[in-house]
Amino acid sequence: MEIKCEWCGGNASSGENTVYWELPDGSRAIVITMTPAINCQECDMVYQTDNIIKEIEDQLFLVDTMIIGNSISFKELMVLPRLLKRNYFDFSS
């Protein structure tokens, strides 16, 4: 499957990178390693898709963030037990 960069329209590929995310309560920021990303070979932009951003935001809203240290991998974050089944405050879907 061919991936087009959302910024320049050039050829891109799937990859991973490290992101820095503020917790929903604003208390601190964490490092999320090995986060799925799009890497553009033409403009060198590295970014997360809207779906990945929503996954991260929802998960951070639904888990006990006190158990997260300063750094966590994307996969570790996604398997943390949720306090609610879904984000009942998200009216976008």
- Give residue-wise pLDDT tens across range 29-46: 999 999 999 999 999 999
- Give residue-wise pLDDT tens across range 53-78: 999 999 999 999 999 999 999 999 99
pTM, two decimals, is 0.88
Q: How far apart are CA 66 and CA 3, in angstroms?
A: 37
Q: How far is CA 31 from the centre of its chain?
A: 11
The single residue listed with the structure tokens 């984000």 is 87
| HSE-CB for 61 with a 13 A CA cutoff | 12
| Strands annotated E in the chain | 3-4, 11-22, 29-40, 46-47, 71-73
The predicted model gives 9-30 an average pLDDT of: 96
